[in-house]
Amino acid sequence: MAEQKEEAWDIEITARDTLFDLKLKDVWHYRDLLVLLVRRDFVSFYKQTILGPLWFIIQPLFTTIIYTFVFGNLASIPTDGLPQPLFYIAGITSWNYFADCLTKTSTVFTTNSALFGKVYFPRLIVPLSIVVSNLIRFGIQMLLFLLMMAIYWFKGANFHPNAWLGLFPLLLLLMALLGLGLGMIFSAMTTKYRDLSFLLLFGIQLMMYLTTVIYPLSVVETKYPSYKWLVEYNPMTSIIEAFRYGFLGQGTFTMLSLGITSVITLMTLLIGIIIFNRVERTFIDTV
């Protein structure tokens, strides 16, 4: 009797998955869907706006002006000798990308419940599309930051880009993965407790003040040493300090602190994916 030829299936449905089945292979098979969702997010969000992508520039520009006036002039917070607008926009650009990835990912289940209930695809595609689509906004804001660097460079401002610029891809990856991991953890909890989405928005604002967005780490070390640990243990602090040091030549970071941030980020991402994959099986009954 001839042996039967083994059939190849596009999708295999099994009764149970292991805890560490991250379904990354399924995500790769649906990479075309990822591109479509990124395009959808960008077009749908700005389709009926007057200024469109110009909002990407207006928001950090006005925030920088307000921070310069309030924290730089009124509060007289030092900026490590850097021009105040450059100091603030460096922190704002980095923080905005992380915060956007976190807040938008945290509501994935509630905002996409209709889509999830109609057709199968790896649900992890949706939070990934948010992180990728936010890269467009981050890229435009980076161009604004580089333009301001060029303007101050021609004015003779005292800042010095250096070889640590090579860490930029790593810093960008850490911001994306940290926001993705935390966002997926919160997205699992918001399926049952909707109030957490409002609490998260409030918490993000408070967390920014525990990050070196509006002040350098050197100020905390010299003036408030007893509170240094609160700022240093924030994973975004070492990322922003390294970002400033690479582009502007001023910042307080070590490879050890960046390594600890990398470990925290990977652990957060792993926990986030596991929780996300567990919740997506039954969330439709609670949303």
Instruction: Provide the residue ranges of all domains of the chain, joining segments of one domain with +.
Output: 24-37+54-285
Kindly report the average pLDDT of the chain as a whole number: 83
Which of 130, 58, 138, 133 is CA-nearest to residue 90? 138
Contact 83, 64 (CB under 8 A): no
Q: Which residue has the higher pLDDT, 263 or 126?
A: 263
> Rounded to whole angstroms, how far apart are CA atoms 47 and 41?
10
Q: How many beta carbons lie within 10 A of that of residue 202, not counting itself?
A: 9
pLDDT band at 1 (very low <50, low <70, confident <90, very high): very low
55-70 burial string, b = 16+ CB within 10 Å, else e?
Answer: ebbeebbebbeebbee
How does pLDDT run across 87-108, given as a tens digit for each residue? 999 999 999 999 999 998 888 8
Contact 220, 142 (CB under 8 A): no
> Rounded to whole angstroms, how far apart are CA atoms 23 and 114?
22
pLDDT band at 199 (very low <50, low <70, confident <90, very high): confident
pLDDT band at 187 (very low <50, low <70, confident <90, very high): confident
Q: Flag whether the pTM goes above 0.95.
A: no
How does pLDDT run across 222-239, given as a tens digit for each residue? 888 888 888 888 999 999
How does pLDDT run across 126-156, given as a tens digit for each residue? 889 889 989 988 999 999 999 999 999 999 8
Q: In the prediction, which pLDDT does 190 show?
A: 79
Structure tokens at 257: 């602190």
Q: In this model, does residue 50 exceed pLDDT 80?
A: no
The terminus-to-terminus CA distance of the chain in angstroms comes to 53
Q: In the prediction, which pLDDT does 17 show?
A: 56
Which of 187, 45, 193, 16 is CA-nearest to residue 116? 187
> Rounded to whole angstroms, how far apart are CA atoms 48 and 43?
9
Q: In this model, does residue 200 exceed pLDDT 60?
A: yes
With 0-12 / 13-18 / 19 or more C-beta atoms within 10 angstroms meaning exposed / middle / buried, residue 225 is: exposed
How does pLDDT run across 5-16, given as a tens digit for each residue? 556 666 665 545
User: Which amino acid type is present at position 94?
Assistant: S
Q: Read off φ and ψ for residue 54, nearest 5 degrees.
A: -60, -20
> Rounded to whole angstroms, how far apart are CA atoms 79 and 34?
40
> Rounded to whole angstroms, how far apart are CA atoms 78 and 225?
16
